[in-house]
Chains A and B, each alone.
Chain A
Amino acid sequence: MSTTTGDSKQRISMLKVLNPFHIWALGVGIVLVGEFMGWNFSVAKGGAYGSLIACWVIGLLYTCVAMIDSEVTSTVAAAGGQYTQAKHIIGPLMAFNVGLYLVMAYTMLEAADALVVGDLMKSGAEALGHAGLDTKPFVVLTIAFLAWLNYRGVFTTLTLNFVITFVAFIAILVLFLAVEPANPGAVLKHKELLTDLPYGWIGVVASLQFGMWYYLGIEGTCQAAEEVRSAGRAIPLGTMGGMMTLLVAASLTWYICAGLMPWQYLGQAVTPLYDAGTLVGSTKLQLLLFVATAFAAIASANGCINDASRAWFSLGRDRYMPVFFGAIHPKYRTPYRSIIFLVPIAVSFAFTGLLDQVITFSILSGLLGYTFMSINIVKFRKMWPLGSIHRGYIHPFHPLPAITLLILCSATYFATFLGYGTSLLSILAFYIVASIWFSVRRYKFVKRADQFTMPWPRPKGY
């Protein structure tokens, strides 16, 4: 398929071994940890009902993301996902930024996941009578083990992810049945615990920020595009299926937690579903949720290593970042140097002790990426109108999803401004400085025409 002449030498590539279940496991695996920790910070910002509204509004945002992403990814199937899309549709600087969003969002989320595993070990040790356990060795072990697994091949990595994500999802269902949803007032006390909106409607807008946790990372499915057997089919299927799983899990989680904990507690809880299991008062349930929380965090970190390393690898392959990282392991067929490089970085993020900063950085990087998608799809349809190239999937109602997405993104920026304004500015400063640095210093190492790899005709208007 390559257009370059004169190199008939043997080429290396990643293995095409994944099926739609792996894609589901990659997408849901990254996100499901959000139901076990993090979503509940939206309760602090806007109350329990505020959080529920945020859950639905952000659900709409992600439905737009999934629709748009499915169309572009089923057409541009390459590791690097949205990065490769940006490179073909908007241009190099945008692509560089999108690549950074991906690497940052996933590596920071990975660090937060590893911290959750560490904290969970600590509270487990406390429950068994050993106070003050040092969490560091368990944080490092989580990252080291998952990096090792990722290094050794994508098939085992994502098969494991499928199993543990499935267990974590089932645990939410079991907990839901255990709180006797058909018998309100027995275990669940919604009537007494649910209050009016504590901050009014501005609080609801503010809670959109952490409402992102309900779904953050689902779009990472398209990083696997070079490793699935049939990208045009598996990626839309796995992503949409994942989105449905998450909508169910998010609603159940909200319903359980809002009926068990006062919102002021819920808004700052570290592991809300585990606390819910504890409140029901059964040791078995408590144990199940302990395991499920750990599994969810591990699955998420695992998927994050997978996605972040593919994005970093793609940046290296195109020389946006040092070309050294563009190597593939001859035996395991993984972007092994990128995997190694990101290990100490994830560990150092975890050890900064700035969990809320790290989480905000992760969310905002995701949000910047969604803003890009809304611009991207409009340009995509203009430059290659329907019928001019083969699209694996065409999303309906264009440009309505793109406009909705842009409006919801703006609302979420405003939500972040409320309460986390300095973080927002400092993260923007990072991307601005990085962009200038890329234009001035890095771009000279990039081959021009080689960046465009799709077998498409010349875009309209260029």
Chain B
Amino acid sequence: MTKHYEPPKQGWFGQIFDSLFVLALVYLSLMLPLLFKAKEAASAAAGAAAEAVKPTWESLQLSPVVQEQWEKLGYDAEKAAALINTKFDYTIDPVWLVITAVVLIGYFVFMLKVSDKEYRQVIAEKFGK
């Protein structure tokens, strides 16, 4: 039989501190991407200013039925063009792809390894050696 582990009791202050700590972490990770987004938005705005030709329904070359649905939704050519011309950029940066993959896989490997170590202690205490 392995030694029984008796955990310390946590006081009020520690309990409150720990709850707040997790919260602070969440907010931080919500805010973090904003820093990058601000940069992207600035460069996108610069690009949009370059092509400032006023669009018309004709220049958008939509079929009459499609144009009718846009109008039913309350859109004029200019507003519709803004949506039609917004596009995702799917060029893949291989460096970032590799970094992301390594972080993701590393996270799972780390978690499984540590969990396994802790799990063996649990089993040893529960069922004996």
Touch between A and B in complex, CB under 8 Å?
A: yes
Chain A residues near B23: list those with CB within 8 A. Answer: 345
Q: Which residues of A contact B46 (CB under 8 A)?
A: none
| B42 sits at the interface (CB 8 A) | no
Say which residue of A100, A268, A322, A429 sits within 8 Å of B15 (CB atoms). Answer: A322
Contact B119 A91, beta carbon cutoff 8 Å? yes
- Bound complex: CA A97 to CA B66 (Å): 47
Nearest chain A CB to B121 CB, angstrom units: 6
| Per-residue contact bits, chain B 108-126, to A (CB 8 Å; 1 contact, 0 not) | 1011101111111111011
Q: Which residue of B lies closest to A344 (CB)?
A: B23
A323 to B72, CA, bound (A): 56
Convert B46-72 into 0s and 1s, putting 1 for each residue whose CB lies closer than 8 angstroms to a CB of A: 000000000000000011011001101
Establish whether residues B5 and A260, one from each chain, have CB atoms under 8 Å apart when the complex forms.
Answer: no
What is the minimal beta-carbon distance from A276 to any residue of chain B, in angstroms?
A: 10
B72, B90, B118: the one contacting A199 at CB < 8 Å is B90
B-chain residues with CB within 8 Å of residue A447 when the two chains form the complex: 5-7
Interfacial chain B residues near A375, Cβ < 8 Å: 108, 112
Contact of A262 among B34, B66, B122 (CB under 8 A): B66
- B34–A354 touching, CB < 8 Å: yes
Q: Are A434 and B88 in contact (CB under 8 A)?
A: no
CB-based contact B29/A426 at 8 Å: yes
Given contacts A93-B118, A199-B90, contact A435 B29 (CB under 8 A): no
A452 interfacial by beta-carbon distance below 8 Å: yes
* Given A199-B90, A426-B32, A433-B25, A459 and B123 contact (CB-CB distance below 8 Å): yes
The answer on a CB contact under 8 Å between A424 and B30 is no
Q: B104 contacts A265, CB within 8 Å?
A: no
CA distance A26 to B75 in the complex (A): 38
Does A264 lie within 8 Å of B84, measured CB to CB?
A: yes
**In the docked arrangement, what's the CA distance between A382 and B37, Å?**
45
CB distance from A209 to the nearest CB of B (A): 11
In the bound complex, CA of A202 to CA of B97 (Å): 15
A91 engages B8 (CB within 8 Å)? no
User: Which residues of A lie under 8 Å from residue B25 when comparing CB positions?
Assistant: 430, 433-434, 437
Does A432 contact B34, Cβ atoms closer than 8 Å?
A: no
Of B26, B31, B84, the residue contacting A104 (CB under 8 A) is B26
Query: A203–B80 Cα gap in the complex (Å)?
Result: 21
* Residue A400 lies at the interface, judged by CB distance under 8 Å to chain B: no
* Cβ of A92 under 8 Å from chain B: yes
A193 at interface, CB cutoff 8 A: yes
Q: How far is the CB of B120 from chain A (nearest CB, A)?
A: 6
Say yes or no: is A144 at the interface (Cβ < 8 Å to chain B): no
In the docked arrangement, what's the CA distance between A267 and B66, Å?
15
Contact of A442 among B18, B26, B32, B120 (CB under 8 A): B18
Cα A58 to Cα B30 in complex, Å, equals 26
Contact A275 B114 (CB under 8 A): no
CA distance in complex: A42, B19 (Å): 35
CA distance A352 to B100 in the complex (A): 26
Interface residue A425 (Cβ < 8 Å from any Cβ of B): yes
B residues in contact with A361, CB < 8 Å: 29-30
B residues in contact with A394, CB < 8 Å? none
Contact B90 A418 (CB under 8 A): yes
Q: Does B28 count as interface, using CB distance less than 8 angstroms?
A: yes
Interface centre among B6, B100, B114, B118 (most CB of A within 10 A): B118
- 8 Å CB interface, A53-106 against B: 90-95, 97, 100, 104
Contact indicator A452/B111 (Cβ below 8 Å):
no
Which residue of the partner chain, among A44, A203, A260, contacts B90 with CB atoms under 8 Å? A203
Return the contact of B5 from the options A93, A264, A323, A448 (Cβ within 8 A).
Answer: A448
Interface residues as binary, A340-360 with B (CB distance below 8 Å gives 1, 0 otherwise): 010001000100101001100
Specify the chain B residue showing the minimal Cβ separation from A434: B25
Q: How far is the CB of B122 from chain A (nearest CB, A)?
A: 5
Q: Which residues of B sit under 8 angstroms from A354, Cβ to Cβ? A: 30-31, 34
Say whether A422 contacts B69, CB under 8 Å: no
Contact of A432 among B28, B88, B107, B126 (CB under 8 A): B107
15 contacts between A and B (CB under 8 A): A100-B22, A104-B26, A193-B66, A265-B75, A321-B18, A322-B15, A354-B30, A418-B88, A421-B100, A422-B36, A425-B103, A432-B107, A443-B118, A444-B7, A444-B8
Interface residues of A (CB under 8 A from B): 44-45, 90-95, 97, 100, 104, 189, 192-193, 199, 202-203, 206, 260-262, 264-265, 267-268, 275, 279, 319, 321-324, 341, 345, 349, 352, 354, 357-358, 361, 371, 375, 413, 417-419, 421-435, 437, 439, 441-449, 451-452, 458-459, 462
Interface residues of B (CB under 8 A from A): 4-8, 10, 14-16, 18-19, 21-23, 25-34, 36-37, 62-63, 65-66, 69-70, 72-73, 75, 80, 83-84, 86, 88-90, 92, 96-97, 99-100, 103-104, 107-108, 110-112, 114-123, 125-127
Q: Please give me the 9 A-B residue pairs with the lowest Cβ-Cβ distance, nearest first.
A: A91-B115, A91-B119, A322-B15, A430-B29, A192-B65, A449-B125, A426-B32, A449-B126, A94-B115
